[in-house]
Amino acid sequence: MIKLYQFPISHYSEKARWALAYKGLPYQKVNLLPGLHSKTTTRLAKRSSVPILQHEQNIIQNSSDIIDYLDQHFSERPLTPVDPAARAQALEWENYVDKELGPHVRRLCYFTLLDHPRLCISLLGHQGPWYGKLFLRLIFPKLRKLMYHYLKISPESVAESEQQVRQALAKLNQAWRHSGYLVGDQFSRADLAAAALLAPLCAPSQYGIPWPKHYPQPLDSLCQQLSPQLQRVRELYRLHRPDS
């Protein structure tokens, strides 16, 4: 049985969920609670981050390593192109969005969410342990401070992140214009990574989180403004993201 240690809210976890769903692989989700997760994750792997995949004796941490592993062990519906040049291109896109997009989307979201404890707790504690939301309520002021520190949230960094997300969206949309896919004319891990890491800005239902109808401000305005540039993300979800 495959197990995925994850946070339902995490967009890097969503990369792994999407890869598993795309391949039609059954798996068990182990939903950890942010703040208490590192007890479990550091017992399993080197770093504290999720996602972590457990399969037979193997433990794989890091979303791109998880996609590598799944393609190596479950070759049907590959996400990594076979042609070496296309493969290199897909990995380059994935590395770009992992490093230059994911952290900025996350910072923009938490900048708003951390000012709205009820909503934030309902997302962070979604489908976690029974005591999760109570625990998060009790530690929220401390958690908020820690997350501000961990995500390096400040007015300057938030402005910079908005700029980075706009730039990345322009670059992705330029590339998507040719065939609708980042590499050749087929869906690959490049599209999966870009769409999963942008998903919190357009709240697709397949992500599996009870998104609010509208985010509080200023995140809602930003999402409204970016909505036309997120069109391909919504399409990729519709075309290639099965429910899981």
Ligand X SMILES: N[C@@H](CCC(=O)N[C@@H](CS)C(=O)NCC(=O)O)C(=O)O
According to DSSP, the residues that pair with 8 across neighbouring strands are none
Q: Which of 38, 40, 157, 206 binds ligand X (CB under 6 A)?
A: 38
Q: Is 12 in the site for ligand X (CB under 6 A)?
A: yes
User: Are 17 and 4 in contact, with CB atoms under 8 Å apart?
Assistant: yes
Task: Return the number of the residue (82 or 210) whose C-beta is nearest ligand X.
Answer: 210
Q: Which of 8, 33, 51, 226 binds ligand X (CB under 6 A)?
A: 51
Determine the interface stretch with ligand X among 44-52, 82-90, 117-125, 235-243 (rule: CB under 6 A): 44-52
Give the contact letters, 141-180, x = binds to ligand X (CB under 6 A), - = no.
----------------------------------------
User: Are 133 and 143 in contact, with CB atoms under 8 Å apart?
Assistant: no
The C-alpha atoms of residue 105 and residue 98 are separated, in whole angstroms, by 11
From the CB of residue 52, how many other CB atoms can be counted at a distance below 10 Å?
27
* CA 185 to mean position of chain CA atoms: 24
Q: Which of 17, 53, 90, 98 binds ligand X (CB under 6 A)?
A: 98
Task: Return the number of the residue (50 or 165) whose C-beta is nearest ligand X.
Answer: 50
Beta strands in the chain (DSSP E): 2-6, 27-31, 52-55, 58-61
Which letter, b or e, does each residue of 134-145 get, where b requires 16 or more Cβ atoms within 10 Å of its Cβ?
Answer: ebbeeebeebbe
Give the nearest distance from C-beta 178 to ligand X in angstroms: 27
Interface ranges with ligand X (CB under 6 A): 7, 10, 12, 38, 48-51, 62-64, 98
